[in-house]
Amino acid sequence: MAGTKAGGMKAAATNKAKYGKEFYARIGKKGGQNGHTGGFAANPELARIAGAKGGRISRRGPAKKA
């Protein structure tokens, strides 16, 4: 029954029986604590510099006039 809605319900019931009724809340909390906004979202200037570098090494070749 793997991959069906009924199978998912049985798996959820098993997990709650084994690990407690707060099982999904605990694993969701771990995922939420783990996420941090970083990278380009934290530094738009770095994104601009990286985009410029990528544009300079483009594989498309020069633009052709129509």
Beta carbons within 8 Å of 51's beta carbon, 6+ residues apart? none
- Write the pLDDT tens digit of every residue in 23-48: 999 999 998 887 677 778 788 999 99
State which residues form the domain around 48.
Answer: 5-56
Q: What local confidence, expressed as pLDDT, does residue 58 receive?
A: 74
* Residue 23 CB contacts under 8 Å (≥ 6 apart), including other chains: 15, 16
User: Is the pLDDT score of 55 beyond 90?
Assistant: no
Cα gap 23→26, rounded to integer Å: 5
User: Is residue 22, in this structure, part of any structural domain at all?
Assistant: yes
Residue 53 or 36, more confident: 53
Total domains, the chain:
1
Asked whether residue 30 is domain-assigned, the answer is yes
d(CA 6, CA 2): 9
What's the pTM value of the predicted model, to 2 decimals?
A: 0.48
